[in-house]
Amino acid sequence: MALPKIDQPLFELEIPSTSKKAKYRPFTVKEEKILLIAQESQDMDQIILSIKQVINNCLEEVNVDNLSVFDLEFIILNIRAKSVNNEIAFGFEDEDTGERIDTVIDVNEIKVDFNPDHTKKIEINSQYYMMMRYPTLEEVRQMQSADGGSTEQMFATMVSCIDTLVDQSTDEVFKMEDFTSEEVSDFVDGFTSTVVEKIQQFYMTMPKLRHTIDYKDNKGKKKQFVVEGMDSFFT
């Protein structure tokens, strides 16, 4: 006689970038081992692969490869909260005193921070504007690895997230996926520095996982420490 299969409860969350509802289950012991091994490695590439694998297993009817970084961060924390508990042990050093501060973060208090100045719409001129899409986890890592490398490589990764071009005079929409990389590159080469700065601003102000910790140092002074992004929460 075979052992029975244990049914997992389903929960619902709202994907931050789309506001669409999605169902998910807690991760299993096998999946938790995958995350723990990756976390112990301190290798962000391995951590990324493990997180995507677990989310893909636990999340229903959503293409994980199309999710933004802050979507993945938010989803994996929610899955962890339902799988283990809603508390994460966290430690950091006070930048003034060097004192080690150990605390516990409630996952339910971690939110995606939306910058009020952020926009996906990039005005090129009075006739054209572009709509950006949020980069995937792999694309963000490419940009980070290109930082300090070739300008061409970094710029190519940045412009890869141009989703559509809109002609306001005719309402014609050009999808970038319908054009070759060479055609898109030639198009982008015609941008002014002002347009490039707007694209950079899009990336700099993207939503991110953020939590503020209120604490007192060893002299009783009230302070705050801000935790942002996947690197902070998972390494």
Q: What is the structure's pLDDT at 21?
A: 95
Q: Is the dihedral of CA 52, 56, 59, 65 positive or negative?
A: positive
The residue behind tokens 């503020």 is 212
What is the distance between the alpha carbons of residues 73 and 126, in angstroms, rounded to a whole number? 37
Residue 45 CB partners (closer than 8 Å, separation 6+): 141
What's the predicted TM-score (pTM) here?
0.81
DSSP symbol at 15: -
What local confidence, expressed as pLDDT, does residue 134 receive? 92
Q: What SS3 class is residue 163?
A: strand
- Please report, in tens digits, the pLDDT of each residue of the chain (235 residues total): 788 877 789 999 999 999 999 999 999 998 989 888 888 887 877 888 888 999 999 999 898 888 998 999 899 999 989 998 888 888 999 988 899 999 999 988 888 999 999 999 999 999 999 999 998 877 777 776 655 555 676 677 778 899 999 999 999 999 999 999 889 988 998 999 999 999 989 989 999 988 999 999 888 899 999 988 766 665 5
Confidence (pLDDT) at 25:
94
| Residue 6 token pair | 């244990």
Q: Residue 223 CB: number of other CB atoms within 10 A?
A: 14
